[in-house]
Structure 1
């Protein structure tokens, strides 16, 4: 059994206004004995964020989860005005062995609304059943145009990964050495769109050429049942309660989805975590 949790942690800021990464990790562990933890909104040196002490949360989360390989996915990297850097992005932590890691900068079109760079991070984990690509992302909040472009970036990253699997390549020494990968993949994250959004449906459209489609794991397991709330459940400053956090699996994994659960109890973030269990 492979257990993956995805969670937009809002830099550890709970509904109570307290930033507490330890609480977040403990609550994730209470949900499941997870093998992989995919996080969005991890910060480093961003004391301007509400409740944030400016610490390096990438390092702190790695410390809180010894025995897990910590993979950083920095999307925003800017100077702090004092000789340092401020960083913000995503993270994957895996207690399974991690082979190659890839970081895809998603398209950043011009837009008049507030926006920032976005990233897709991919870690190839080695499960007892073989290799699996685990991806996580956090798409733009304020611009549908940017989200549409970013969805195309995700689709392109998945397509090229699958075509690399299908295409024999000559390995070489040093930086040209090959590493195991797979067309099988799980895509997680905060997509900042609701289930009926055309961009959300676009993620699951067919590719052709033998590239497996990315299917919504909730729909795989529950058909047309509405997605549970994953955002604004306990605090509605960003609108009424709705779902914008999703997990997708490639077609070959559909029969292996054992269950997917949207946790509705924790208040350790303004988003709710999602658990996926796969029979791997």
Structure 2
């Protein structure tokens, strides 16, 4: 099984041109992903550079017609004429989807900086090695206060899911709304975390929780303990940043670690201001 996580900057490349097709072609060339986790997907925006109100969720669904789509916008406000104007995370899966959650992350007030509501798309997939939860997210860029709260929420989600895996809720006779969703302990969390590997927020995310099995483990450090993280931004002359560094990660719960076989960053493409992160799991 192959998964790719990529902040696509609404499909805007380092050449300042917007192209959903170019993003899709880069993914196809990179290894025919079973699961695609995209951040900064736009619907109905006409003020972002290069956009004129396109529905990029629909565009990506057309590019990957064999994949089911789970869209979790953080920013979701009516645009002109009441049409949706959304910005968030898109999870596309060729594997069967067994359960879906679209979660808003904490957004404590911080008037000192710009910010937006952030979200996480979570889905349980029927993967070759067994059921797997995949979470695709994008944390706040400007506010350390908000980013820290969001990291704490991701830690809490892992603990909650592990508790449900060990003690699922009781069913209610004849009411399918109470049917407990499949929520396995094996999980993969990916996206743009807007913090670096030596930051306080990163350290908080990978800190031991005291609840065995609920921790998030950085797959780069799990697979490449002697190597610094590959840079995921700042490589190809985009509008920002002024130096290369890593802020895009893939994490796994301990239950998934035996199935993880590879993680690498595609540093060659300039189709976005970020680089795609690829993860491979054993069947």
Interval containing the TM-score (normalised by the shorter chain): over 0.9
Residues 187-242 of structure 1 deviation map (CA, whole Å, 9 limit, x = unaligned) = 00000011101211211122233333111000011004111110111125323111
The one of 213, 216, 222 equivalent to 1:214 is 216
Gaps in structure 1 of 5+ consecutive residues: none
Aligned to 1:57: 56
Is the partner of 2:81 in helix, strand or coil?
coil
Measured in 1, the distance between the counterparts of 2:200 and 2:87 equals: 28
Measured in 1, the distance between the counterparts of 2:213 and 2:228 equals: 28
Is the partner of 1:82 in helix, strand or coil?
helix
Is the partner of 2:40 in helix, strand or coil?
strand
Is the partner of 2:256 in helix, strand or coil?
helix
Offset, 1:16: 1.2
Measured in 1, the distance between the counterparts of 2:3 and 2:128 equals: 15
Aligned to 1:269: 272
Residue 101 (1) aligns with residue 103 (2): no
Q: How does 1:34-113 map to 2 (within 5 A)?
A: 34-111=33-110, 112-113=112-113
Kept in 2: contact 1:40–1:190 (CA 8 A): yes
Residue 139 (1) aligns with residue 139 (2): yes
Residues 15-46 of structure 1 deviation map (CA, whole Å, 9 limit, x = unaligned) = 11111101101101111121100000000010
Measured in 2, the distance between the counterparts of 1:49 and 1:144 equals: 24
Offset, 1:171: 1.4
How many matched pairs?
Answer: 279
Aligned to 1:189: 191
Is the partner of 1:136 in helix, strand or coil?
strand
Provide the TM-score with structure 2 as the length reference.
Answer: 0.95
Q: How does 1:189-268 map to 2 (within 5 A)?
A: 189-235=191-237, 237-268=240-271
Superposition RMSD in Å: 1.2
Alpha-carbon spacing, 1:202–1:80, altered in 2? closer, same or farther (3 Å): same
Aligned to 2:123: 123
Gaps in structure 2 of 5+ consecutive residues: none
Offset, 1:83: 2.3
Residue 151 (1) aligns with residue 151 (2): yes
Offset, 1:49: 0.5
Offset, 1:48: 0.6
Kept in 1: contact 2:190–2:250 (CA 8 A): yes
Kept in 1: contact 2:129–2:282 (CA 8 A): no
Is the partner of 1:252 in helix, strand or coil?
coil
Is the partner of 2:5 in helix, strand or coil?
strand
Offset, 1:128: 2.1
Aligned to 2:6: 7
Provide the TM-score with structure 1 as the length reference.
Answer: 0.96
